[in-house]
Structure 1
Amino acid sequence: MTQQQKQADVTSIVLAAVAGDAPIEDLQRLERMLSEDPSLTPFVVNLMNQESWLAWQSAKASDGATRADILAEIAKAVGTDSRGAPFVTPPQVTEHRASSRRGEPTPHVISRLRIDWSVALAVALLVATGALLGATVARSGWMDNDDLVAVSEKGAVDASDQFVVRYVRGTACLWNPGIERGYPEPKREVEAGESLNLLQGIAELDFELPNGSAILKVEGPAGLVITQGHSATLSSGVFTVDTDPTIDEFRLQTPSGVLEFAGDCSAGVRIAGGEAELHVFEGRAQVTVPWSSGAGDSQLLDVVAGSSVALSTASDGRIRIDRGAASEASFAAKRSMESDSLKLPANYPDIVAQSNPLLYWRFEERRSDVVRDYSGNGLHGKVIGEVDWVQSDANNSLSLGGAFTGDAIGSYVKSAQPISDRLADGYTVELWFKSSHYHWGNVFSLLDCRPGSASYGGHGVALELGGARSNFTDLERPARIRFLHRDPPSADVAVGTSIFSESHYELRRWQHLAAVKTDSGLRLFVDGEQVASADELSPLASGLSLLLGQLDEHQFYRRFVGQIDELAVYARQLDASEIVRHFELVRPKIKTNGAKPSADSDLESSIESAI
């Protein structure tokens, strides 16, 4: 297991502990991992420090609890004094200028705190049992499906600090504690002291301040608290900020510093593992570091349009500041779904037809409840719920999960009849897709939809996307593409063979995907290149229907949010040359002499920091 995989596994256990959901077996496994690999200790402590800090901010906003109170509670459990020793090393600020070359990733230093591994475990267990002051406030009081924001008791608000925060809208938002179809109502007011934990999706908050408004877009997974006098406290995640020209001050607190925005400003903020990045796209912003150290004077940093600043803490306790170029491409909320169109040459359908597809859905219907099969085999699809048809130039595509209504959230497309009877000896699934954001979503499935069948609801084939924060498991890997083949069809996760892409899929850009089952194995192609393979001898069962957009017909779960086009299923394996030809008809290869585009580098850095 790589260090990245270990950190992802540890993160999963610790966050479950914070939510009170970690079984004792996982906590024991965490103890063993920390004992065997002491380098994980600062990572865990830093993560725990963030979560307790967020809980403290929530408690402070409602009942005036202080950080000293939090540290005193920690001290009781682990035998340290109320000043926080040995948890907090007084930070010292040093600045390093990064290369001005656009797209160069900023250095990442995870370690903030230095303590023995047993102390880290004690803190994890402390939070897991709810003993840490404010932890209960941060995770209690959950409402029903239509109102999924934790509410703590409201405190007194000074007139100069008064503002209104409203939840405006969301795209496929999954809020803690994981109710699959739940979402707050649009325009709902969010009160000071409320803690929001967005597990997945993109949510928009409108801050109505005395002299203007600010829009905060949140990309899950992310955590924040609405606080008095500071507008919001951010714990982790990706955020974008847009402020009115009339705003004289809009502030966001992070574990590494206070961010201040004024006037007409557009910026992005990323927080992960105790590190914070600020990217300014328009206007200017200021950063005050450290946010609260009790040692030395704070330092004020100006960040102008086109530049970024990254704050991290080295192992010696010094706060490191790295400057670089702003990267708008690495923030999904700043990239329009319309920024990349799928321009098909006129002969593309003819070239696909030459490969003799069993089924060919082109999604040219424009608001129909039927998806036509262009193969001539009559394997048409049926639209369930509310989907959208997106037109770009002369081409149409299917859009799933982007609307806010309940019908849109539960929408999918299903073949009118089973299609797998001719796929037993090998098959190829080919499609173009564009993902709205990093999320765990089922793009394509072949499953048993026959009530009364012994394998009813079981999957034989699945093409899925992984979310931004996930473990490296047989089900999901962070921002990777999964190809599953399973015989016999089943819902048993221990059955079947899965292969995963090595690299992350791209945000809001069309990509070509081909999954091939031969008589002896699986092959996965992304943008014309083979990215994974595995041995697999089993055939594909008969009687399976095609489903696009979510896990199955009855669970509004693992929903795909994005666009799909030019879906073709073949009753044979396409060879590599055919796959490359179909891809390059639309996206001819551009020679880069081995250099990755800067946007790809930014996205790579974005996902690595998210996990």
Structure 2
Amino acid sequence: MDSPLHRLSDIELALRMLGGDATPEEVERFNRRLAADPVALRCVLDVIEQEECLEWRSASGLAESAEGPTVPRPHLGASASDRRVSRHWPFMLSLAATLLAAVSFTGGLLISDWRSVERGNHGVTRLSEGGGGLQSSVSPGMTQRPIGRLVSSAACRWVPDQRISLSGELRYGESLNLLEGVAELRLEGQAGVADVHAEGPAGVVLTADGGCSISHGRLTATAMPELAPFVLETPLCQVTLRREGAVGVVVNGRDVEVHVFEGAAAVLVPWGLGGADSQFFDLTEGQLLSLRQESEGKIHTRLGDSQPTGFVSRSSMGSDQLVIPDEYVESVAALNPSLYWRFEENAAEAIDDSSPAAGNPAEVVGTLKYTVNTGNRALDLGSGMTPGVLNAHLLSSRPINLSATNGYSLEVWVKPSHYHLGTIASLIVPNAEGASVPGHGMMLELGGPRTAQPFIEQPGKIRFLHRSPPSDKVGHGVSCYSPDHYSLRKWQHVVATKDATTLRLYRNGELVASGKDDTMHNSAMKLLVGQIDESRRERQFFGQLDELAFYPHALSPEDVHRHYELVEQAKSSPREQTPPARPMGKRTLLPSLSTRRPSSA
């Protein structure tokens, strides 16, 4: 176990990062340490939140309530412009030492969120202004009153010590710390009914009368107030809906945005432009209020137009449709793929192979879901709530034989539901003797909103890894990454090719990245779709897939561009519309701060 002095140095470095004084090397090294040590990670985050909450409370003068976390947890590798500078530095170092001593004394016990609720015991805790440590600000009886429930979750991953069950009761003062995914909450209180979608990474706390507070991340709320207004609190302002309406809020470090999608909202800023008085803004549908806190504490405001497309939960997975013409199918078949999975049948146990040989259907593990639009059927992964649907993936029934001279290509249409670390497809070999996981010869992956593992993931980017010989060693192989973020809830054409010297990554018909590697595969591997390998339910892909083809040779740039153009031309041509076969699934997520445990490959 680490010593208190080691823990103190961790927090000192974290606070220097907040002030923008840490070097890039220190940031990367520290992120790796926190990714490998959840005790250190939680301790550092708790101290940062306490320091920031003291600044918020002392500056705002708002009434005490069960607000929960009210200040963003900045990403420890973010730029200085995205970090808040503390005004309580000496106090926080002494507080950090106290917390670290407590961690050491209890044998590594995680320090819980200082504003979280222990059901039925102490209510909401806060730091005593009189220096008496932690004290309760809510009577025990109030914490027993349920004011909401989790009604749906899409690819949700919570902090390790949090257990949230579907349809389970949520209580006044309860803290929800979401790392990935989108959680839909139904809140009920004197403020009536509100449907809230938190897009992870996000921190949300349920407040009195059916309201909530967000410390970081993205959140949308559709409220129907009754006896009292619906109140949504952020680190820099308070948003109030007195009548039915819908708003979106973004909290990212020192920046807060309030978007009004429907109806009207009143925004209270406790101080603005350096003045001592509060400011009030009456926003109407289509308006945006942006707030930014400078290092000296001043808040600057700016009005603009709201941006619903910036919130994944405001768009449907069915909003973009894919049309596959016969010419496309014929062109793929003419290039002699090893396998071609079109997902045109409502198959439960196997996916037909539409390649000329038709000899490598996909074995189905779990329960598949499909979606149908404009007459086209696509595979829908991760959109359900049952374990069978959430863990569904595909595996080729036979190994694919690869030649040392011809290379290979993977072609697929993808529509990610949200930013997440997910494996679209990979080539795997059985576990080598003594190995705990299969070796990977190729991987096509999506990067999540933030990362603690820059050596295998870049936020919001597509990764193509070639590794020969196949291995589970993280440092082996060559990766290339798309320079731009992949699109959310829109179909995009992704192709990865490898020839004798070069791996290339294409997106929407254009070459976007490449890497040099003269190693080739001369072995047989299976194609896995939907997660990192057969045994681990990790790095799962959430979204829709269609027209997946694997070729035992490298496609030419002309082939790739032609395939993309055939679909684009078909989408722009008049075509009889077919109603969706079933309602589209609930919303999903976007970015801000996320740390993960180390992962191989």
Q: Normalization by structure 2: what TM-score?
A: 0.76
- CA spacing shift, 1:554–1:608, aligned 2, 3 Å: closer
Please name the residue that 1:509 is paired with: 490
Contact 1:47 1:274 in 2 (8 A): no
C-alpha distance in 1 between matches for 2:377 and 2:287? 37
C-alpha distance in 2 between matches for 1:126 and 1:467? 34
Q: Which amino acid aligns with 2:481?
A: F
- CA spacing shift, 1:348–1:244, aligned 2, 3 Å: same
* Higher mean displacement: 569-578 or 422-431: 422-431
Cα offset for 1:53? 6.8
Q: Of 468, 479, 491, which aligns to 1:498?
A: 479
C-alpha distance in 2 between matches for 1:178 and 1:493? 27
Q: Does 1:164 align with 2:165?
A: no
* Secondary structure at the counterpart of residue 338 of structure 1: coil
Cα offset for 1:266? 1.4
Aligned pairs for 1:221-300 within 5 A? 221-229=201-209, 231-244=211-224, 246=226, 248-290=228-270, 296-300=276-280
Q: Of 188, 198, 202, which aligns to 2:182?
A: 202
* Secondary structure at the counterpart of residue 332 of structure 2: helix
- CA spacing shift, 1:568–1:120, aligned 2, 3 Å: farther
Please name the residue that 1:399 is paired with: 380
C-alpha distance in 2 between matches for 1:123 and 1:293? 31
* Secondary structure at the counterpart of residue 348 of structure 1: helix
Please name the residue that 1:416 is paired with: 397
Cα offset for 1:272? 0.8
Q: Which amino acid aligns with 2:533?
A: D
C-alpha distance in 1 between matches for 2:517 and 2:253? 39
- CA spacing shift, 1:122–1:36, aligned 2, 3 Å: farther
Q: Of 408, 411, 419, which aligns to 1:438?
A: 419
- CA spacing shift, 1:417–1:589, aligned 2, 3 Å: closer
Please name the residue that 2:113 is paired with: 138
Contact 1:359 1:570 in 2 (8 A): yes
Q: Which amino acid aligns with 1:512?
A: H
Cα offset for 1:227? 2.6
C-alpha distance in 1 between matches for 2:316 and 2:88? 46
Cα offset for 1:129? 6.2
C-alpha distance in 1 between matches for 2:214 and 2:546? 37
RMSD (Å), alpha carbons: 4.1
Q: Which amino acid aligns with 2:49?
A: E
* Higher mean displacement: 47-56 or 295-304: 47-56
Contact 2:430 2:438 in 1 (8 A): yes
Aligned pairs for 1:47-126 within 5 A? 51-52=49-50, 110=82, 112-113=84-85
Cα offset for 1:587? 2.1
* Secondary structure at the counterpart of residue 520 of structure 2: coil
Q: Does 1:177 align with 2:160?
A: yes
- CA spacing shift, 1:293–1:165, aligned 2, 3 Å: farther
Q: Of 353, 362, 372, which aligns to 1:381?
A: 362
* Secondary structure at the counterpart of residue 168 of structure 1: strand
Cα offset for 1:66? 7.0
C-alpha distance in 1 between matches for 2:397 and 2:9? 45
Please name the residue that 1:425 is paired with: 406
Cα offset for 1:358? 1.6
C-alpha distance in 2 between matches for 1:425 and 1:178? 49
- CA spacing shift, 1:400–1:23, aligned 2, 3 Å: farther
- CA spacing shift, 1:383–1:316, aligned 2, 3 Å: same
Q: Which amino acid aligns with 1:523?
A: R
Contact 2:411 2:496 in 1 (8 A): yes
* Secondary structure at the counterpart of residue 349 of structure 1: helix
Contact 2:187 2:210 in 1 (8 A): no
Cα offset for 1:540? 2.0
Please name the residue that 2:531 is paired with: 550
C-alpha distance in 2 between matches for 1:284 and 1:38? 42
Cα offset for 1:534? 1.0
Q: Which amino acid aligns with 2:122?
A: E
C-alpha distance in 1 between matches for 2:352 and 2:345? 7
Q: Which runs of 5+ in 2 are unaligned?
A: 31-43, 58-62, 69-79, 104-109, 124-137, 572-589, 596-601
* Secondary structure at the counterpart of residue 580 of structure 1: helix
C-alpha distance in 2 between matches for 1:403 and 1:176? 21
Aligned pairs for 1:561-572 within 5 A? 561-572=542-553
Cα deviation digits, residues 157-213 of structure 1 (max 9, x gap): 899x9761111110111111179xxx6322111112222111111111110123531
- CA spacing shift, 1:340–1:178, aligned 2, 3 Å: farther
Q: Which amino acid aligns with 1:138?
A: D
C-alpha distance in 2 between matches for 1:212 and 1:192? 15
C-alpha distance in 2 between matches for 1:460 and 1:178? 35
Contact 1:277 1:311 in 2 (8 A): yes
Please name the residue that 1:153 is paired with: 122
Contact 2:15 2:48 in 1 (8 A): no
Contact 1:418 1:543 in 2 (8 A): yes
Contact 1:459 1:486 in 2 (8 A): yes
C-alpha distance in 2 between matches for 1:576 and 1:408? 36
C-alpha distance in 2 between matches for 1:129 and 1:229? 38
Cα deviation digits, residues 120-150 of structure 1 (max 9, x gap): 877777766668xxx93428999xxxxxx99
- CA spacing shift, 1:247–1:539, aligned 2, 3 Å: farther
Q: Which amino acid aligns with 1:174?
A: R
Cα deviation digits, residues 434-470 of structure 1 (max 9, x gap): 0011111111111113675979611111111111122
Q: Does 1:355 align with 2:353?
A: no
- CA spacing shift, 1:32–1:296, aligned 2, 3 Å: closer
Q: Normalization by structure 1: what TM-score?
A: 0.75
C-alpha distance in 1 between matches for 2:17 and 2:526? 43
Contact 1:139 1:150 in 2 (8 A): no
Contact 1:275 1:313 in 2 (8 A): yes
C-alpha distance in 2 between matches for 1:477 and 1:373? 33
Please name the residue that 2:510 is paired with: 529
- CA spacing shift, 1:455–1:297, aligned 2, 3 Å: closer
- CA spacing shift, 1:501–1:171, aligned 2, 3 Å: same
C-alpha distance in 1 between matches for 2:463 and 2:120? 38
Cα offset for 1:571? 1.1
- CA spacing shift, 1:353–1:337, aligned 2, 3 Å: same
Contact 1:48 1:123 in 2 (8 A): no
Cα offset for 1:559? 0.8
* Secondary structure at the counterpart of residue 503 of structure 1: coil
* Secondary structure at the counterpart of residue 399 of structure 1: strand
Contact 2:271 2:298 in 1 (8 A): no
Identity %: 35
Cα offset for 1:340? 0.5
Q: Which amino acid aligns with 1:175?
A: W
C-alpha distance in 1 between matches for 2:551 and 2:315? 34
- CA spacing shift, 1:226–1:555, aligned 2, 3 Å: same
Q: Of 284, 290, 302, which aligns to 1:322?
A: 302
Please name the residue that 2:60 is paired with: none
Please name the residue that 1:345 is paired with: 325
Cα offset for 1:407? 1.1
Contact 1:110 1:313 in 2 (8 A): no
Please name the residue that 1:92 is paired with: none
Cα offset for 1:505? 0.6
* Secondary structure at the counterpart of residue 587 of structure 1: helix
Contact 2:325 2:570 in 1 (8 A): no
- CA spacing shift, 1:245–1:30, aligned 2, 3 Å: closer
C-alpha distance in 1 between matches for 2:261 and 2:428? 45
